Amino acid sequence: MTNGATLVRSVLFWMILASAANVPVAAAELKVSENHRCLLRDGKPFFYLCDTAWDLFLRLTREDADFYLKNRKEKGFNVVMAILIGEMPHQDELNAYGEPPLIDKDPAHPNEKYFRHVDDIVKKANAMGLVVAIAPAWSNWMYKNVGRGPHPFDADKARAFGEYVGRRYRHSDVIWVLGGDSNPEGYEEILRAMATGLDEGDGDRDLLITFHGVKIGAPMPPDNLYHLRFGSAQLVGSESWLDFHGAYSGHQWDYPTYRHIAQARATKPARPVIDLEPCYENHPYHPDGSMFHASPEKWDGKTRGTAALVRRQAYWALLAGAAGHTYAANDVWQFYDPARPNPKPAYKGNTDWRKAVDFPGAAQMGIMRRLFESRPWQILVPDESVLSGAPDGTKDHVQAARADDGSFLFAHLPRGGSITIALNKIAGKTTQTHWFNPREGTATPIGEFPCSGTLRFEAPSAGEENDWVLVLDDAAKHFPIPGAQAGAAAE
């Protein structure tokens, strides 16, 4: 009897703990700012810094997910982005525990065991302060003109599945990402149904939805090497469910992300814009941007995306008016492990993902976030008029942005060198200036100058790996050292 009573008490104890663990916790309020230029989290500007982890739910054990999430939190990311049910419906995609997302690949029959694993990862991410951007179903599952089938989603199934996952994660810090790489033309009704389902499942709480996809257009002048890419602004910009734009610059080397961001930012109605698919660190070279992975005849087998390339596109985008940025490492998104079969050999992973999480570009994204958050970054507006005679080319383009009240200015020089600035663009009597090193996160004072006329500044170094950010502040604002302290900027 004693042993039985002890067993009952033990079972009741664990039932109470399990029940407590499932008590809904108030999710953060994620919304669009009143001026439609940035995102807010609990009413404060939210600098969206995302790491791409497409196969997070499929490839990682609980222990691996713990390691990954902790690493990304320490690097300074506040969002991770993953696909809920995979991108290859023609294969039997199973998670690390052998569970498929859907029973018989039927959206009407989600696999509870699989989703419990997703629950666990989402809860752990949220507990660390990470928002999870979730693609509920990749385009391959929805668009019959994309990839090999089956393509089981129609509008009815999309709405039902959207409601299912919307309800399941209505108490979680999530952002929904519809689409997936491809052109949605002809399948807009499925996306609308998915968005409707998510909204119905989420209940009274507001939710954020964006779109990930691309259509290649005519060559972008003046350089025929670059293909014009159409993202959410052109493809689904009239849809009421779209809360912020997902730009798509792709894996083409030195693609002019500043043009892409400006293009999306200029569309009506105004929405925040974020590049959801830039060049990946350690990704094979793309000579023309026509493919999503490099074919043997168009790749030398050696050239891969560098941290310098990643930084260049990130600063170009942010200073062109983006509300944040998305980073990715080629070996991390697919969680490449040389000790196990690789289901995605086309993407040419070559570094164990546990090492790839420490590629230099990842840490430098956190440095970038600290720089922006050391100032009231949400009031930055693109302003190339502050520059005089600045280079404008695929690699040398200098992008600048100025606070709308003139209190500070950032200019990114992707290859160092010199730049001439119109100092009268800074409010106040004098400007305090620094060179900020985006590779190391250090700031070097230059001096204090009158806010009048123009002045030429020479970066400490020049060359492919020697980008610099020139920071000019209204001296009267007494801003902290650039990048010194996240959140230290005056309200």
pLDDT tens-digit map of 429-443: 999 999 999 999 999
Amino acid of residue 88:
M
In a domain, 11, yes or no: no
Render pLDDT for 311-364 as a digit per residue (tens, 0 to 9): 999 999 999 999 999 999 999 999 999 998 887 887 889 999 999 999 999 999
Q: Is the pLDDT of residue 485 over 70?
A: no
- Are 65 and 122 a contacting pair, CB within 8 Å? no
Query: From residue 251, how far is each of 204, 284, 307, 309 by CA, in Å?
Result: 38, 9, 14, 11
Q: Compute the average pLDDT of residues 195-202.
A: 95
Q: Which residues contact 361 (CB under 8 A, 6 or more apart)?
A: 281, 306, 307, 310, 311, 327, 329
Cβ neighbour number for residue 463 with a 10 Å cutoff = 10
pLDDT band, very low/low/confident/very high, at 461 (cuts 50, 70, 90): very high
Q: Which residues contact 491 (CB under 8 A, 6 or more apart)?
A: 376
- pLDDT at residue 315 in the model: 98
CA–CA separation, 150 and 146 (whole Å): 10
193 & 87 share domain? yes
In a domain, 161, yes or no: yes
pLDDT band, very low/low/confident/very high, at 215 (cuts 50, 70, 90): confident
178 & 103 share domain? yes
> pTM for the complete prediction?
0.90
- Are 69 and 302 a contacting pair, CB within 8 Å? no
- Are 138 and 85 a contacting pair, CB within 8 Å? yes
CA–CA separation, 79 and 225 (whole Å): 32
333 & 428 share domain? no
Q: Compute the average pLDDT of residues 287-316.
A: 72
Greater model confidence, 173 or 86: 173
| Closest to 325 (Cα-Cα) out of 376, 410, 390, 258 | 258
pLDDT band, very low/low/confident/very high, at 392 (cuts 50, 70, 90): low
For residue 238, what are the domain limits?
25-373
Tokens 């961001």, residue? 261
In a domain, 483, yes or no: no
In a domain, 298, yes or no: yes
What percentage of the chain carries pLDDT values higher than 70? 87
413 & 399 share domain? yes
Longest dimension (CA), the chain: 91
DSSP 298: G
347 & 385 share domain? no
Q: Which residues contact 169 (CB under 8 A, 6 or more apart)?
A: 122, 134
**Structural domain count of the chain:** 2
Q: Compute the average pLDDT of residues 144-167.
A: 92
359 & 384 share domain? no
358 & 389 share domain? no
CA–CA separation, 329 and 348 (whole Å): 12
